[in-house]
């Protein structure tokens, strides 16, 4: 598919997704985003105390509490979230992406991206739009047995978790997601 067609298709797809979302999933105020972000972090901590240790070590935490992914031949995902520094929301962002190929269905997931160094956080904050895999890579962490994550051996400057109410989700990627600052 040409870049011109993708440029037209992605906004149309995202608009359609937003219109189909139940109002509860459209976090369009600071209060709703902040509340959803805190709930997502609480769920992540409940899945693993080791994830909580990483949250404490992070210079900044980007939380997308409700990322909706839908597909019918062409897929798209969308979610709004906040960047938290020292446990306080500092700015707001949207994540969006599109995919092409055989796909049918919908799912809601949470994404938490941890900037483990001040330098990684600063690079993200100074970007105009951050595309995962191009402007920065995110090492997705999986929980082992009993919710274990070896927090002492993590050397990547940016790490992330993708999870749902059932727990961490495997075989997913953030590659191709575009993260853009929004005014709230």
**Strand, helix or coil at 104?**
strand
Q: Where are the domains of the chain?
A: 3-182
Across the chain, where does the E strand assignment appear?
A: 60-85, 88-115, 130-131, 139-140, 158-164, 167-168, 178-182
**Spatial separation of the C-alpha atoms in residues 119 and 142, rounded to whole Å:** 24
pLDDT in tens, the chain (184 residues): 555 555 545 555 555 555 455 444 454 699 999 999 999 999 999 877 788 889 999 999 999 999 988 777 677 889 999 999 999 999 999 998 877 666 567 778 899 999 999 999 999 999 887 776 555 567 766 655 455 555 555 678 998 888 876 655 544 556 667 889 998 7
**Spatial separation of the C-alpha atoms in residues 93 and 83, rounded to whole Å:** 7
| Tokens 């700015």, located at residue | 91
Number of CB atoms found within 10 A of residue 11's CB: 13
Are the C-beta atoms of residues 151 and 109 closer than 8 Å to each other?
no
Taking alpha carbons only, the member of 84, 96, 125 closest to residue 14 is 96
């Amino acid at each position: 598919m040409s870049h011109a067609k993708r440029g037209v298709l992605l906004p149309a797809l995202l608009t359609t997704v937003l219109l189909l979302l139940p109002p509860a999933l459209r976090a369009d105020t600071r209060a709703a985003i902040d509340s959803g972000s805190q709930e997502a972090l609480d769920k992540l901590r409940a899945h693993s105390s080791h994830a909580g240790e990483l949250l404490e070590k992070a210079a900044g935490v980007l939380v997308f509490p409700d990322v909706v992914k839908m597909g019918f031949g062409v897929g798209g995902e969308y979610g709004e979230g906040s960047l938290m520094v020292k446990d306080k929301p500092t700015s707001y962002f949207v994540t969006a992406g599109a995919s092409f190929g055989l796909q049918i269905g919908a799912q809601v997931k949470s994404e938490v991206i941890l900037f483990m160094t001040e330098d990684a956080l600063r690079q993200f904050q100074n970007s105009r739009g951050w595309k995962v895999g191009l402007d920065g890579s995110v090492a997705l962490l999986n929980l082992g047995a009993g919710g274990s994550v070896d927090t002492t051996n993590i050397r990547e400057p940016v790490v992330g978790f993708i999870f749902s109410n059932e727990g961490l989700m495997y075989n997913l990627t953030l590659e191709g997601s575009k993260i853009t600052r929004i005014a709230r």
